[in-house]
Amino acid sequence: MNPDYISLHDKQFKPYLSAARLAEVEQELAARLNQDYADKKPLFLAILNGSFMFASDLLKLVQIPCEVSFIRVASYQGTSSTGEVKEVLGLTEELAGRHVVLLEDIVDTGHTMRMLLDKLATKQPASLEVATLFMKPECLQHELAIRYVGLSIPNDFIVGYGLDYDGLGRNYPDVYKVV
């Protein structure tokens, strides 16, 4: 067994993206956000659980006045989306007239994002955008115009850097893909 591989539950994962590469992507996203929201004081809504590392590292690079809050939704079981989205923790901030940016770890089927965008749009924000670290274009089942995409990746199941496999793997600084 290769010592770089990790085992989580019944699956093996091999190295895919380094923490250094993820940091480069976040620098690029933060530069765009700093420019696009320079005079807007956005509200960043990090979607838990998966986006916690991405949101933390990205927001350290955001150098404009902003607010940060969290919403928790779940749609995954094992290695695939259930197709059902359940909101676990709700939003307490007023969104009307605000510039809102959702921070997500990964967009694959788009079920979660579609539900959130539809739900949050009813609260009449001035603007509503998504910044995601990863996007799987070949998995999308919804029409989504995502303005801030760190990396488009193939349909491989990945863990690490906040992403998990049935609760395990979020703590790794690098990203691994299933073997």
Q: Name the region of 26 (left: φ>0; alpha: ψ -120 to 50; beta: rest).
A: alpha
- Cα separation, 11 vs 92, whole angstroms: 38
DSSP state of 79: T
List residues with catalytic annotation. Answer: 108
Q: For the CA atoms of 171, 134, 12, 47, what is the dihedral angle to 10 degrees?
A: 40
> CB-based contacts of 82: which residues, under 8 Å, 6+ apart?
75, 76
Closest to 62 measured CA to CA, from 26, 16, 12, 102: 26
